[in-house]
Amino acid sequence: MSVPSSAQPPSRVAIEDPRPLIDCGRFAAKACVGDRVDVSALIFRDGAQALAAVVRYRGPAHAGWREMPMRRLPAEAGEDRWGGHFVVDEQGAWRWSIEAWTDEWGSWRDELDRKVAAGVEDLDSELAEGAALLKATAARAASTGGADRLAAAAALLEDRGAALRERTETALDPELAQICARHAARYGAAQMNPPAIVDVERERARFGSWYELFPRSFGGFAGVAGQLPTLAALGFDVLYLPPIHPIGVTRRKGRNNALVAGAADPGSPWAIGSAAGGHKAVNPELGTLEDFDRLVAAAGAHGIEIALDFAIQCSADHPWLREHPEWFNHRPDGTLKYAENPPKRYEDIYNVNFDCEDWRGLWAALHEIVEFWVDRGVRVFRVDNPHTKPFAFWKWLIEEVRVGHPDVIFLAEAFTRPAPLRELAKLGFSQSYTYFTWKNSRSELEEFVSELAHSGMELYCRPNLFVNTPDILHAYLQDGGPPAFRTRLILAATLSPTYGIYSGFEDFENVAVQPGSEEYLDSEKYEIKQRTLDGPLLPLIGRLNEIRREHAVLQRLDNVTFLPVENDALIAYAKTGAEETLIVVINLDPHAPQEGIVIIPSRLGLPPVLEVRDLLGGERFSWRLGRNFVRLDPAERAAHLLLVEPAA
Amino acid sequence: MSVPSSAQPPSRVAIEDPRPLIDCGRFAAKACVGDRVDVSALIFRDGAQALAAVVRYRGPAHAGWREMPMRRLPAEAGEDRWGGHFVVDEQGAWRWSIEAWTDEWGSWRDELDRKVAAGVEDLDSELAEGAALLKATAARAASTGGADRLAAAAALLEDRGAALRERTETALDPELAQICARHAARYGAAQMNPPAIVDVERERARFGSWYELFPRSFGGFAGVAGQLPTLAALGFDVLYLPPIHPIGVTRRKGRNNALVAGAADPGSPWAIGSAAGGHKAVNPELGTLEDFDRLVAAAGAHGIEIALDFAIQCSADHPWLREHPEWFNHRPDGTLKYAENPPKRYEDIYNVNFDCEDWRGLWAALHEIVEFWVDRGVRVFRVDNPHTKPFAFWKWLIEEVRVGHPDVIFLAEAFTRPAPLRELAKLGFSQSYTYFTWKNSRSELEEFVSELAHSGMELYCRPNLFVNTPDILHAYLQDGGPPAFRTRLILAATLSPTYGIYSGFEDFENVAVQPGSEEYLDSEKYEIKQRTLDGPLLPLIGRLNEIRREHAVLQRLDNVTFLPVENDALIAYAKTGAEETLIVVINLDPHAPQEGIVIIPSRLGLPPVLEVRDLLGGERFSWRLGRNFVRLDPAERAAHLLLVEPAA
């Protein structure tokens, strides 16, 4: 080793711990169009010189880098932490970096300031230094007009005949400092390298109300189209359909997952593929492709998006088993291997083999499927069991699709351990299912939501809080009756910007197939229901969706603060924004009235006395910082949604 | 974009959040020779297959990579976290990485195990699969002898004539699994890339007792040599000398930092350089270079290392000002600029200009200085104000010196803000001064030490807790008299593996130059003292150093647990190791006896009743889990150092 060979010495400025950065920048942070991206870093150098810094950013369509100034943040953010921001107004990958340098004029001015304050009078030498800096700055500013002012100031600083006070006042002029900052030489600048990435999606990736239904229970595509006005009036944004493809006949499952199906049993929509086609076909019992296209168009006209289920698995009758046996697992005797999780066997399902020799052909074919539906206007995909397919495949697929269609949203059904759930979110899934259905007590909910909202996870993982799914009817709902449904609905709709309901929830359906099971009795997965959209919970659902659209504080995740409550059967939290504060108090006990003290802490920055209005009941209450009494009777209402009225 | 062009699909295994990693691996973690380096990472893949992993490591003298197995850690470490370790037995940069892959045999065996447990009897197809795996493994094991056993097992698995139970027992044989693991194909292996670095130093970088003295107050080098037997008997490992170089005459400071020195005033050792020479010369008043060499040799014979002060600054008389005026700051009129921090001026000091055109010549000259003293046997440098010189310079210098002399230790006098303090530690300084002298209350001490020991900082920053310095006589010592000195000494010596004392501390010197100042009256920085090593605190110092050498728990930083105490004037902590536990209780109030309850929490893993022996007083006490009464009268003793005796 020897002295570095560069002509200029290495930069003296350090840029450390830049944020937001996911796993050292290996993954992108997430944002939505219109967001302000706040970035920060520790920026410092040796010695006492002043520094200057900018955040540099570049959107997908920008021809070059743009800049916004960074400022030293208040001490509570941490000493030497600087912050800046930029607004993302376009979907796609935005890059950002930081440049920081020694502020020569600022450093000189700071020293002069302290000498003037100390009454030092022999400043000719200092002012001559300042003049030299101004002249160099003037040379750089030559083309932009500020040069004259800089030159004049330089001349005055050097003029030993002029009054000292006039010379120092000119030197310390804040406006002159601004001109110098604009034309800074950026001497010894340091760069944050490589740049970080923010993946910007449209707003629906963060905020939306989902409804899930089996089209066959509503009369197929045409029947579903007939429900659109009702769904739109209820304020739903996304209508998610389980797989709409032809269903296998061989080893088809019967009602309640029976091993042998009756002649009239329709089979599980997740057993994809029959003689009628595979993942690019529709189940003829639902209608034709054209019927589907009409549904997508009609939904769009109602402001609703159709979300399709992307389930990579094949029934025994899927065309791929004949056309591409090389994509499946084989036993030593050459036969295909069905799916199993010993001792369970899924004889109606064949998984593809991502380790097969023609994995590239398989990836391309799966990509084709997604593009097929994208071409038919679908922009939202709910991905079935993504944690049983390779991470690298998903990363590639999502990037590939979003190159041409940056508006496509992928929801991961990541019912798996935390590490793979997080990995799928990091690699590109817009949203993820979560452990919400299993979090029912106050401590469980607070820990669960705090991790999502405040642990750093909020930078890349957007939860979609489904209150139920065709696979999950939690014991809390089985045991709690209608009050339990109201409580879970309000929790989901107010804790998370995105939440979802699976059909039947509004009817308080709560009978499990057997004690201890989370499966529905007579599950819609294996039979056709005759459903109507008129359940008793719909008015509350509609009102909640309306409130969610009206109040931006419910459209973000990271603005939640849990409030102390002196009764563990109650949960309380504030959702805060620049313009308003909403206080939510919910009774978690579906069986009995609960009362207690909710504490409004001073750190919320609210006035000492609060006029609040309940957005659900309409009542007005007078609350205050500190202790507030609440009583909630589940027979009457599950919650208060208290909007803090602006001070008169 | 299109499907990746590689023949093999990307690995399905993810390796996330490897530890220890400093700032994404940009800096090395630190260790000492003999340490076991524990590493871990989240290791997982899609699906349910079994995994296997190894940590790969490579010492500076290793010809290639070595491996140690990794295992899934217990759940309390976090789901999907795997751990492994390796021992570092040589100074220098060690590299480590992780390789993880799908355990084909383990996955197959696990499925078979579950089927056997479920009583499945039709297993021919499964066993044929297993046989195929064994044959492939046998082919890989061909040269090492295990192949025969693998082939025999394969034959049995395929033998439909043999009893099913015999076939499955063979298939599930743990020993067979071990052979398969040894010869695993490492199918679809993932690597942690790039490798991380652990910078391994000798033990003295972590553990040592330092004493600082001004040689001129002990009669120069020869006089200091005469103190070595005493210092060795007191248990000191490092003897740190402020700059030993010729002192400038021009604008020399007088007693108590007077602007004008008297004729007999010796000047500050930090005003380096005179007609007698610069940083490679010694002050003739201390002796000759040969005298210094003799001191280094004599110290070594006593097991003591001499630490020199590396202060990059020059008096007005330093030869460099004439020989290399281009290395210094100039005013517009061409004169040299002295150091200043307005309104303060340091007219006796000139700083070098690291931004000068010949910065490379300056770096090389500074490196030469260090190498000059290294060549004379010095292996420890205390670096003055490193935070006012470029970070890049220090990184380069330390690496450069340690290429040839990996045993050189650098202590940073980083009395600066946290960000630059941490940066200097990360870039290579072995140790750092800290904010210890300003942490005196229990809450201050607990927060301060917890950050050093448990925040991740322990991976790269080793504190050197000096109880005083020539610049810092804290008000606590000024006001608290001898009990305050005892308290601070015991805190430093038991909280940190490395601590230091500046001469005079043992005499309870505690008079400040003026009220509110931390400067000593008649500071040794500006005058010669006639010192002897016989202060009244020396017996306690000697006993503490003896205890520190005898008890390995005091030689580590990260093994401290603060204990609840029901009196804020008392502090208590446990230092725990594999072989013993030490409980320290200290009275922080130098003015009055304090008593209270110290709580031993169950998480320390101690038995319900503890026999403890005070290493300072020799008394034995019976303590227990939970509440224990303590009373400490500062007039008698400052602390208990309670060694938990092994259970009978």
- Cα–Cα distance for residue pair B217/B529, rounded to 1 Å: 5
- A596, amino acid identity: G
User: By the 8 A CB rule, do A427 and A395 touch?
Assistant: yes
Cross-strand pairs, A551? none
Nearest to B431, CA basis, from B150, B210, B118, B242:
B210
Quick check: B144 pLDDT over 80? no
A630–chain B nearest CA distance, Å? 36
C-alpha–C-alpha distance, residues B201 and B216, integer Å: 32
- Mean pLDDT over all residues of chain B? 96
Residues B248 and B334: their CA atoms lie apart, in Å, by 22
The position carrying tokens 């084709």 is A368
Provide the CB-side half-sphere exposure for A559 (13 A, CA): 18
> How far from B127 is each of A63, A84, B92, B147, B388, CA to CA, in Å?
61, 62, 50, 18, 70
CA torsion angle B272 B277 B278 B279 (round to 10):
-110
Sheet holding B465-466, edge to edge: B431-432, B409-412, B380-383, B305-310, B238-241, B208-212, B498-502, B465-466
Residue B120: closest C-alpha in chain A: A343
The pLDDT of residue B647 is above 80: no
Nearest CA-CA partner of A520 in A493, A540, A541, A502? A502
A392: closest chain B residue by CA = B10
**What's the pLDDT score for residue A142?**
83
Rounded distance, CA A360 to CA A367, Å? 11
Contact B4 A354 (CB under 8 A): no
Provide the β-strand partners of residue B575: B560, B582
**Residue B145: what pLDDT?**
72
Residue holding tokens 């999907």?
B80
CB contact under 8 A, A46 and B391: yes
Q: From the CA of B118, how many Å to the nearest CA of chain A?
A: 6
Please provide the DSSP assignment of A114-141 as one string: HHHHTT----HHHHHHHHHHHHHHHHHT
Of the candidates B24, B188, B388, the beta carbon closest to that of A47 is on B388
Give the pLDDT of residue A648.
Answer: 58
What are the pLDDT digits (tens) for B440-499? 999 999 999 999 999 999 999 999 999 999 999 999 999 999 999 999 999 999 999 999
Please give the C-alpha separations between residue B100 and each of B78, B111, B193, B219, B520, in angstroms, as whole numbers. Answer: 18, 20, 12, 63, 59
Instruction: Say whether A1 and B396 touch across the interface (CB within 8 A).
Output: yes
The pLDDT of residue B648: 58
Taking one residue from A and the other from B, the number of pairs with CB-CB distance under 8 angstroms is 166
Q: Is B430 helix (H, G, I), strand (E, B) or coil?
A: coil
Q: For B343, which of A48, A115, A128 is closest by C-beta distance? A: A115
CB A68 within 8 A of CB A102: no
Q: Do A12 and B331 touch (CB under 8 A)?
A: no
Any bridge partners for residue A611, and if so which? A622
Nearest to A343 among B120, B354, B399 (CB): B120
- CB–CB of A4 and B396 under 8 A? yes
Residue B376 to chain A, least CA–CA distance (Å): 22
**Residue among B42, B359, B387 whose CB faces A9 most closely:** B359
* Interchain CB distance below 8 Å, B125 and A403: no
Residue A413 annotated as catalytic? yes
- Chain segment A396-444, per-residue pLDDT in tens: 999 999 999 999 999 999 999 999 999 999 999 999 999 999 999 999 9
Beta strands in B548-587 (DSSP E): 560-562, 570-576, 581-587
pLDDT, tens digit, for every residue of B394-451? Answer: 999 999 999 999 999 999 999 999 999 999 999 999 999 999 999 999 999 999 999 9
Contacts of the segment B257-264: beta carbons below 8 A, 24+ positions apart: B257/B513, B257/B519, B257/B523, B257/B525, B257/B526, B258/B526, B259/B347
Residue of B46, B362, B366, B398 to mutate, interface with A, max A Cβ within 10 Å: B46
Helix, strand, coil share (%) of chain B residues, nearest 5: 35, 25, 40
If you search the block for the tokens 């076991």, which residue do you land on? B36
A480: left (phi over 0), alpha (psi -120 to 50) or beta: alpha
Answer whether B417 sits within 8 Å of A44, measured CB to CB: yes
CA distance linking residue A449 with residue A468, whole number of Å = 18
Would you place residue B7 in the very low, low, confident or very high pLDDT band (cuts 50, 70, 90)?
A: confident
Contact B1 A396 (CB under 8 A): yes
Beta strands in A503-625 (DSSP E): 560-562, 570-576, 581-587, 594-600, 609-614, 620-624
Helix axes A147-158, A124-140, angle to 10 degrees: 160
- B383: exposed, middle or buried (Cβ count in 10 Å: 0-12, 13-18, 19+): buried
A chain contacts of residue B396, beta-carbon cutoff 8 Å = 1, 3-4
Chain A residues in contact with B14 by the CB 8 A cut-off are 391, 419-420, 423
User: Do residues B98 and B81 touch, judged by C-beta distance below 8 A?
Assistant: no
The answer to whether the peptide bond before residue A325 is cis (omega within 30 degrees of 0) is no
Per-residue model confidence (pLDDT) at position B340: 85
Which pLDDT tens digit goes with each residue over A504-521? 999 999 999 999 999 999
Which stretches of A371-521 are assigned E, i.e. beta strand? Answer: 380-383, 409-412, 431-432, 465-466, 498-502
Say what the pTM is: 0.95
Q: Is the pLDDT of residue B4 over 60?
A: yes
For residue A47, give the nearest of A98, A7, A8, A102 by alpha carbon: A102
Is the model's pLDDT at B303 over the cut of 80?
A: yes
Q: Which residues of B are catalytic?
A: 384, 413
Active site residue A199: no
Q: Which residues are A595's β-sheet partners?
A: A631
Active-site residue identified among A413, A509, A527, A589: A413
With beta carbons less than 8 A apart as the criterion, state whether B374 and A32 touch: no
Cross-chain CB nearest to B12 (options A3, A24, A391): A391
Measured between CB atoms, which of B9, B391, B419 is closest to A354? B9
Mean local confidence (pLDDT), B625-630: 96
| Tokens describing residue B212 | 């600082």
Cβ–Cβ of B16/A392 closer than 8 Å?
A: no
- The reply to whether residue B355 touches residue A9, judged by beta carbons under 8 angstroms, is yes
Q: Average pLDDT per run of 10 along chain A, which is 648 residues long?
A: 82 97 96 98 96 97 96 92 98 98 96 94 93 94 84 95 95 95 93 97 98 98 98 98 97 93 95 97 98 98 98 97 95 85 83 96 98 98 98 98 97 97 98 98 98 98 98 97 98 98 98 96 96 97 98 97 97 96 98 97 93 96 96 95 85
Q: What is the pLDDT of residues B156-182, one digit of tens each?
A: 999 999 999 999 999 999 999 999 999
Q: Which of A384, A423, A506, A589 is catalytic?
A: A384
Contacts of A128 in chain B (CB under 8 A): 331-333
Minimal-distance CA residue of chain B relative to A113? B342
Q: Write out the two tokens for B112.
A: 């078979």
Judge: B419–A79 Cβ closer than 8 Å, yes or no: yes
The DSSP line for B33-55 is TT-EEEEEEEEEESSS--EEEEE
CA of A513, closest CA in chain B: separation in Å?
A: 23
